[in-house]
Each structure stands twice: as structure tokens, then as C-alpha cells.
């Protein structure tokens, strides 16, 4: 079971990464998986990424104090923080359902991309999901094209556990339950996420598909994450969105898993969050 290496060596979790990242592109939408994208901006700043370009339909969501998470002190918009504003660029788009012309220009000279455009809830909380539709496939199709045009290879994207029949990536009872959800009232989300994953698998990119478990709104960041390995005890289902974001940034900056997927969670035995 792979554990956040900073935790095991006793280094400061918020300290600089040993790897250098000059530019990171972060994309987020709405919903639980997309909330990880918002936190990835902060995780990138923690790691002293020199510049972060944020691409989203919803820039105003950064003004929310509560990012649907358990972060104790809440949040402020990093674009309004004098300590970080000069390191950030915002690119607002209208809709991933529309072609984004010259999108590749925003990816030039990036070291890596973090894409959190997927959504796995039915859409009850976000009316835009009903109005605009799910965009994991449509958005990431354009992201992949832009990355290839800009000659950027590393991308870390968020998806879900329990998508595929017989999937044993997370040996936990909740996998079977999520599978039932995906086969019933979450069918549209399943098809969208599966189509997104297929696009990455068929691309030339060095992708990592991250499947977080238990990213509940009340889960407090622990400063540590656990990565599920085959044949080992199931990781816990109560990982915070901020800790998933840290894992994604760590993998973007210094890849250890290429062209594959991994479940990330909390310490084994942790109850579902």
C-alpha cells in the first residue's frame, strides 16, 4: 500500500516538493469530483508550483468560503490573495459542449495537467448538470486534443470507483454498492465517466486516472493519503478532497504511475466518510 511519502519521512506536508514544476494547468467543473480540482489549485500552491493556469466554466465558485469540504478554516479565493495572485491565470470558458477554439494556447509550456471535469452524482444539487449536461467526455476530449497540440504528455484526471463490472480495484463492500448505483439512477454519469476513461486510454498521453473513495463534505484533511495496491487490505473510505488533490498534484509533478488508474483513500479500516 503506497502512502504519501512526505508523511513517512516526517517532512512538512505543506512544504515544497522535491520536484520542480514550472506550470500546471488545472480544470474543474461542478460536483464532488470537480471540487477536488478546486483544491488542486491550493495543493499546487503548497508545492510551490511557479504558475497555475485554471480553466473552468465556474470561476466564481472560488469565491465560496465552503468548497463542499471539511477543510477546517474554510477557503478564500486564491486569485484575491496577494501572496498567490501573480502565480495564477484564470481562463473562463462558456461550455465544454461548445468547441473551445485555440484551447491549446493555454497549455503551452505546461509540465502537467490536472483535469476534474467528471461528475458521479445524479445532479439533484446542481441544476446546471441537468441544463448543460455531463461534460467529462466532451470536456476531456478537447483537453486531450489541446494537450497533444501543445506537446504536453502528463495528465492526472479524476473518475470513480465501481464503474465497471467485476472491478476489483478497491476490495470493499462499497464498490458493489456503487456499482448498483451506476446501473440504476446514475447511469448517465457511468456512461459519461466510462467514455472519458476510454478517451484517455486510447490517447497517446501519460495519463493517471484517480478514483477517490469517500470524499464526503465533512471529511477533514489528514495530510496523508493511501493508494490501493492489488492484493492488499482495502484503503479506508474517508479521504478528504484536499488530500486527494495533494495526491493528484504529487503525481502530476513527479509521476510514479503512468497509463493506468489507482484508487486513493484513507488509512485501512477507516469508516466511510
pTM attached to this predicted model: 0.91
Q: Provide the residue count of the chain.
A: 273
**Cα(156)–Cα(84) distance, rounded to whole angstroms?**
23
The dihedrals phi and psi of 83, each to the nearest 5 degrees, come to -70, -20
pLDDT of residue 20: 78
Sign of the dihedral defined by the CA atoms of residues 181, 231, 234, 206, in that order: negative
Q: Which residues contact 177 (CB under 8 A, 6 or more apart)?
A: 162
pLDDT of residue 235: 97
State the residue for C-alpha cell 482495502. 234
pLDDT of residue 16: 44
Residue 29 C-alpha from the chain's centroid = 10
- Here the cell at position 195 is 467514455
pLDDT of residue 10: 33
> What is the CB-side half-sphere exposure of residue 106 using CA atoms within 13 A?
24
pLDDT per residue, tens digit, the chain (273 aa), is 667 654 433 334 444 444 579 999 999 999 889 999 999 999 999 999 999 999 999 999 999 999 999 999 999 999 999 999 999 999 999 999 999 999 999 999 999 999 999 988 755 566 777 677 889 999 999 999 999 999 999 999 999 999 987 778 999 999 999 999 999 988 989 999 999 999 999 999 999 999 999 898 999 999 999 999 999 999 999 999 999 999 999 999 999 999 999 999 999 999 887
Residue 135 C-alpha from the chain's centroid = 14
Amino acid at each position: 500500500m503506497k502512502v504519501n511519502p512526505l508523511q513517512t519521512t516526517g517532512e512538512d506536508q505543506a512544504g515544497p516538493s522535491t520536484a520542480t514544476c514550472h506550470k500546471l494547468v488545472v480544470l474543474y467543473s461542478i460536483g464532488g469530483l470537480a471540487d477536488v480540482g478546486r483544491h488542486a489549485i491550493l495543493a499546487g500552491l503548497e508545492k510551490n508550483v511557479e504558475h497555475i493556469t485554471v480553466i473552468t466554466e465556474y470561476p466564481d465558485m472560488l469565491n465560496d468560503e465552503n468548497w463542499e469540504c471539511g477543510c477546517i478554516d474554510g477557503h478564500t479565493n486564491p486569485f484575491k490573495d496577494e501572496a498567490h495572485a501573480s502565480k495564477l491565470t484564470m481562463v473562463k470558458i462558456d461550455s465544454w459542449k461548445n468547441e473551445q477554439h485555440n484551447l491549446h494556447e493555454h497549455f503551452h509550456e505546461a509540465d502537467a495537467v490536472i483535469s476534474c471535469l467528471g461528475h458521479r452524482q445524479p445532479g439533484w444539487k446542481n441544476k446546471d448538470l441537468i441544463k448543460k449536461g455531463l461534460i467529462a467526455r466532451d470536456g476531456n476530449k478537447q483537453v486531450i486534443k489541446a494537450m497533444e497540440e501543445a506537446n504536453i504528455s502528463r495528465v492526472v484526471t479524476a473518475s470513480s470507483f465501481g464503474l465497471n463490472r467485476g472491478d476489483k480495484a478497491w476490495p470493499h463492500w462499497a464498490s458493489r454498492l456503487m456499482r448498483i448505483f451506476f446501473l440504476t439512477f446514475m447511469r448517465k454519469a457511468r456512461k459519461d465517466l466510462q467514455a472519458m476513461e476510454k478517451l484517455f486510454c486510447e490517447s497517446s498521453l501519460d495519463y493517471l486516472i484517480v478514483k477517490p473513495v469517500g470524499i464526503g463534505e465533512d471529511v477533514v484533511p489528514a495530510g496523508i493519503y493511501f493508494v490501493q495496491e492489488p492484493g492488499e487490505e482495502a484503503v479506508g473510505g474517508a479521504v478528504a478532497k484536499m488530500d486527494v488533490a495533494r495526491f493528484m498534484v504529487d503525481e502530476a509533478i513527479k509521476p510514479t504511475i503512468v497509463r493506468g488508474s489507482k484508487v486513493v483513500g484513507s488509512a485501512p479500516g477507516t469508516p466511510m466518510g
